[in-house]
């Protein structure tokens, strides 16, 4: 787990009713440090029992910014592509 | 046994069991316009346990059909479509709901091919969620594969991991016989349920099949054989890896299907280890554990160097209260204790 730089991966907006609601990364499909391709499925996030897939915004090395199960605000950074 | 098809967490394309199922259905739907999906909440919702996620967006309401709560009607409709040459994938949500539609399943889906003298085929997949562990109580937690394996005319499969889930679904859809495809809720890799990392693994992007009727040696070992299926395979592998460090070598056989049953792989393993534990999340009496015991006894009871052990749900309704529920389920602790006893 590193702070990372490069392209930030935000937690998607999933609750328009409550933009301040926090969610979690339910599953990291791609591991910390792993090389990913643009568009690859890398994570599944969850907020109020609604889950959503997150795809890599670009190719590169994925750095997790949060572990599975840790609270993240919508729009907050869950990881980076270096 | 197919050593080459042993699932692996290697590779970077990791997905959940649920996504693997939906991916297999999508690939078959793209290749064959006769394949369609029908059931409760299979459309926009994507299946309450994720088995049809994203299919509605790609294929639309004509090929991914949400039904009313009318199991007899929509399973009957699926059977009719299958006899006319289509390949329906029908979801019965929870296998526990079989009670309201059993006539369609056992007297029609399973028997039409026989009663027509082989003239009519029923190439249909009936899929349903099984299993306990999350306090869904006695009417939403059963496994019940033994009930359907007992009745002639239906193939019965139950995958334990993403790779097999995709390959067995492809085989089930392409099969000209009715196939009951039972997926364990606790092995789907869903984010809102406690999940074992084994429910997320590398799955090739392209279409492939896993043959129905071939067990997998999920882990090789020499001291004790565990024969099991579905989520209990994940528990058994956890126990086997733990005990390996103590010098107890456990072989885990994932049956993958109960009908057909791969007796050859079971017998080869028992002949090697001489010690047998059968782990089943279904009820104990008149079920899978007794069937495996009978096959060993009929073949050669002297293969066993110790009496075999059966670990299954002890013929009671699945309790709601979590401590009571885990009291009757075949948990890792109970599997470990049984292996230690056999190995001692």
Number of domains in chain A: 1
Residues in chain A: 82
The whole-number pLDDT of residue B3 equals 41
| Domain interval for residue A24 | 7-81
Domain boundary (B147, B176, B202) is at B202
Residue B114: pLDDT over 90: yes
B21-65 pLDDT, tens digit per residue, is: 999 999 999 999 999 999 999 999 999 999 999 999 999 999 999
Residue A74 is assigned to a structural domain of this protein = yes
Residue A4: pLDDT over 60: no
Residue A22 is assigned to a structural domain of this protein = yes
For residues B149 and B183, membership in a common domain is answered with yes
Residue B8 is assigned to a structural domain of this protein = no
The answer, as to whether pTM is greater than 0.80, is yes
Average pLDDT score over chain A: 89
Closest CA to B266 of B179, A10, A81, B277: B277
Chain B nearest C-alpha distance from A58 (Å):
16
The whole-number pLDDT of residue B9 equals 45
The whole-number pLDDT of residue B6 equals 44
Cross-chain Cβ contact A30/B200 below 8 Å: no
Question: Quick one: average pLDDT of B88-94?
Answer: 97
The whole-number pLDDT of residue B304 equals 98
Question: Quick one: average pLDDT of A18-23?
Answer: 87
The whole-number pLDDT of residue B259 equals 98
What's A35's domain CATH number? 2.40.50.100
Residue B158 is assigned to a structural domain of this protein = yes
pLDDT band at B10 (very low <50, low <70, confident <90, very high): low
CB pairs below 8 Å between A and B: how many? 28
Q: Tell me the H-state helices in chain B.
A: 17-31, 55-59, 71-83, 102, 112-115, 145-150, 162-174, 231-244, 263-273, 288-299, 322-328, 332-343
Residue A1 is assigned to a structural domain of this protein = no
B169-206 pLDDT, tens digit per residue, is: 999 999 999 999 999 999 999 888 888 999 999 999 99
For residues B257 and B127, membership in a common domain is answered with no
| Domain interval for residue B111 | 14-202
Cross-chain Cβ contact A30/B189 below 8 Å: no
- Chain A residues in contact with B192 (beta carbon < 8 A): 26, 46, 49, 51
Lowest mean pLDDT among A12-21, B71-80, B132-141, B205-214: A12-21
A40-69 pLDDT, tens digit per residue, is: 999 999 988 788 899 999 999 999 999 998
For residues B109 and B133, membership in a common domain is answered with yes
For residues B232 and B330, membership in a common domain is answered with yes
Average pLDDT score over chain B: 95
Chain A nearest C-alpha distance from B131 (Å):
21
Residue B211 is assigned to a structural domain of this protein = no
For residues B173 and B257, membership in a common domain is answered with no
For residues B86 and B189, membership in a common domain is answered with yes
Domain boundary (B169, B202, B235) is at B202
DSSP B193: S
Cα B184–chain centre separation: 7
Of A26, A29, A35, the CB nearest to B15: A29
- Chain B residues in contact with A30 (beta carbon < 8 A): 12, 14
Residue B244 is assigned to a structural domain of this protein = yes
What's B329's domain CATH number? 3.40.50.920
Number of domains in chain B: 2
For residues B248 and B164, membership in a common domain is answered with no
**B259, containing H or E segment:** strand B257-259
Lowest mean pLDDT among A1-5, A17-21, A56-60, B6-10: B6-10
Residue B223: pLDDT over 90: yes
The whole-number pLDDT of residue B11 equals 62
Q: B228 and B253 in contact (C-beta within 8 Å)?
A: yes
Residue B9 is assigned to a structural domain of this protein = no
């Amino acid at each position: 787990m590193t702070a990372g730089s490069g392209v930030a991966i935000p937690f998607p907006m999933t609750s328009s009713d409550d933009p301040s609601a926090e969610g979690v990364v339910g599953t990291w499909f791609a591991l910390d440090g792993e090389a990913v391709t643009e568009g690859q499925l890398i994570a599944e996030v969850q907020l109020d029992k609604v889950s959503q897939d997150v795809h890599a915004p670009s190719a590169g090395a994925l750095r997790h910014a949060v572990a599975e199960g840790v609270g993240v605000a919508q729009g907050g950074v869950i990881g980076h592509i270096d | 046994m197919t050593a080459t098809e042993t699932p692996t967490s290697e590779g970077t394309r990791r997905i959940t069991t649920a996504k693997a199922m939906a991916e297999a259905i999508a690939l078959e739907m793209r290749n064959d316009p006769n394949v369609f999906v029908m059931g409760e909440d299979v459309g926009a919702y994507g299946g309450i346990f994720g088995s049809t996620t994203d299919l509605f967006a790609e294929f639309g309401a004509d090929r991914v059909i949400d039904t009313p709560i009318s199991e007899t009607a929509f399973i009957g409709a699926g059977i009719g479509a299958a006899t006319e040459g289509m390949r329906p994938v029908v979801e019965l949500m929870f296998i526990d709901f079989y009670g309201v539609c059993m006539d369609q399943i056992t007297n029609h889906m399973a028997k039409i091919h026989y009663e027509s003298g082989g003239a009519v085929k029923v190439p249909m997949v009936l899929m349903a969620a099984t299993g306990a562990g999350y306090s869904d109580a006695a009417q939403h937690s059963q496994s019940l594969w033994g009930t359907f394996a007992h009745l002639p005319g239906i193939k019965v499969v139950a995958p334990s991991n993403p790779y097999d889930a995709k390959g067995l679904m492809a085989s089930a859809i392409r099969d000209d016989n009715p196939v009951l495809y039972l997926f364990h809720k606790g092995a789907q890799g869903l984010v809102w349920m406690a999940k074992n990392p084994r429910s997320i693994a590398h799955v090739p992007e392209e279409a492939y099949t896993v043959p129905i009727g071939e067990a997998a040696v999920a882990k090789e070992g020499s001291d004790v054989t565990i024969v099991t299926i579905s989520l209990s395979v994940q528990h058994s592998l956890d126990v086997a890896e733990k005990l390996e460090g103590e010098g107890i070598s456990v072989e885990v056989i994932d049956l993958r299907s109960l009908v057909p049953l791969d007796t050859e792989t079971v017998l080869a393993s028992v002949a090697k280890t001489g010690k047998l534990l059968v782990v089943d999340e279904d009820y104990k009496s008149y079920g899978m554990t007794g069937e495996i015991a009978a096959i060993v006894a009929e073949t050669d009871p002297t293969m066993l160097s110790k009496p075999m052990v059966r670990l299954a749900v002890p013929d009671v309704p699945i309790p709601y209260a979590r401590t009571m529920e885990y009291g009757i389920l075949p948990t890792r602790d109970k599997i470990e204790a049984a292996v230690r006893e056999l190995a001692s």
